[in-house]
Amino acid sequence: VSQVYDLMKKHNFYIVKSVRVQISHALCAKKGVKLSEIKTVYSHSQAIMQCAEHLKKLGVKAVEVENTALAAKMVAESEDRTIAAICSDDCADIYNLCALERAMQDNGNNFTRFRLIHYTPPTHIFCHITICLCHQNTFYAQYVKFDF
């Protein structure tokens, strides 16, 4: 996330469309594996952070990988019954994994915003503006939608 904000500061662009999607994390393992067998969980750093309290209660080791799909693929291709991945149900389906737990994120109000950007201004009626505020070492971006 912070890498995206860094890129936003460096480049001039226009937000053409923004979509807010609710994110629900599942703890997934190979079929037949029980929750009690899991010792190590792989996932993207954001997913691990969003499930930190739940992972702590389970008493498992969290290992960061590039993305949740890679985590699911690693689990699917491994013979190790003590590993699982935090990923979406759709991702689990792709890699033939079973969800041991669903909606395991610490905050049920978990959303991600995806933005379609372009280097020319949008031609539709809505104007999308991203306001970036910098204070010392902190960077914050806020999406604002104005109707004209």
pLDDT tens digits, 39-90:
999 999 999 999 999 999 999 999 999 999 999 999 999 999 999 999 999 9
Global pTM? 0.73
Tokens of 85: 């991945």
Backbone angles phi, psi at 57, to 5 degrees: -65, -35
Tokens of 4: 């995206």
CB 96 within 8 A of CB 31: yes
Distance in angstroms (rounded) separating the CA atoms of residues 82 and 68: 18
Amino acid in position 8: M
* pLDDT attached to residue 16: 81
Pairing of strands 126-135, 26-30: unpaired
CB 73 within 8 A of CB 95: yes
Distance in angstroms (rounded) separating the CA atoms of residues 128 and 3: 21
Asked if residue 95 has pLDDT above 50, the reply is: yes
Sign of the CA dihedral with 85 first, then 87, 89, and 90 last: negative
Backbone angles phi, psi at 95, to 5 degrees: -100, 10
Q: Report the SS3 class of residue 121.
A: coil
